[in-house]
Amino acid sequence: MGMKYVLAIAGSDSSGGAGIQADIKTITTLGAHALTVITALTAQNSTGIAAIQRIPARFISHQVRTVVKDLRPHAIKVGMVATAAAVKTVASLIKRFKLFPLVIDPVLRASTGGRLLEAEGLSVLREQLLPLADVVTPNLIEASALSGRAIETVSDMEQAAKTLKEMGPNVVIKGGHLAGDCVDVLYDGSEIYHFRAERIRTDNTHGTGCVFSSALATSLALGYDMIESTRRAHDFTRVSIARGYPCGDGAGVTNPSVATVKA
């Protein structure tokens, strides 16, 4: 079996914990080759985002067209896309080059507070990008923004997953921000699946969402089905959090470079 290619379309995190840096580490650790199309550069450290340089939509397009002319990705993950125009461009590239299976991590804000997608981008993301996805992986805050529902319990997560499924994709809502055990909820249109683990008490969580969506995309590229890929992403993210370390004055980072996943 030859090397599998996973295309990450995402932003750069200069502190090295989240964004494309987390994507590359995750995809590499799981045994695939990361192709990287950068949508924005962030000047960022563990205490916050100082500035964002958004890459023009036409140069995002140039990167994708150049890569796919030569390398056919076996799965795609889309993370931070900063502007409505860039979201539109990414959606049209996905259709034109049939870039599937497609995992969308609907990145809206950094946990340190800065907005990563401009306000006008949310409706474009919902209307043009989500319907193309095989699976969307919001955290509680993103699931709430996309579904218009408050989420406070696992049962709220299930209801929000059903609402988001109406837009097309399978849905994994990540429960890391709820109290108690950490439960990720997958809804595939017919069944609800829970992936549950005891909460790890740590601040070393920067990059968690990026790690999860990249692990899911890589598992799909390696040929696992949606349920098994979600289990692997849950497992891999948990181990990355357990192996995380302090990094700077703010929250520490997850460590996907040394994580493993149970067979």
Residue 96: CB minimum distance to ligand PLP, A: 24
Annotated catalytic residue, options 11, 174, 244, 252: 174
Q: Which of 17, 19, 176, 209 is catalytic?
A: 209
29 is catalytic: no
Q: Which two tokens stand for residue 68?
A: 């796919």
| Residue 188 or 252 having the CB closest to ligand PLP | 252
Q: How far is the CB of 10 from ligand PLP (least distance, A)?
A: 5
* Candidates 207, 230, 244, 254; catalytic one: 207
Report the nearest approach of ligand PLP to the CB of residue 189 (Å): 26
Considering the complex, state which of residue 44 and residue 229 has its C-beta at the smaller distance from ligand PLP.
Answer: 44
Q: Is 210 a catalytic residue?
A: yes
Find the shortest distance in angstroms from Cβ 13 to ligand PLP.
Answer: 4
Give contact residues for ligand PLP (rule: CB under 6 A). Answer: 10-13, 18-19, 42, 44, 79-80, 107, 110-112, 116, 206-210
Of residues 60 and 110, the one with the C-beta less far from ligand PLP: 110
For residues 141 and 150, which CB has a smaller minimum distance to ligand PLP in the complex?
141
Annotated active-site residue 168? The verdict is no
Active site residue 112: no
Residue in 79, 210, 244, 252 annotated catalytic: 210
Residues designated as active site: 174, 205, 207-210
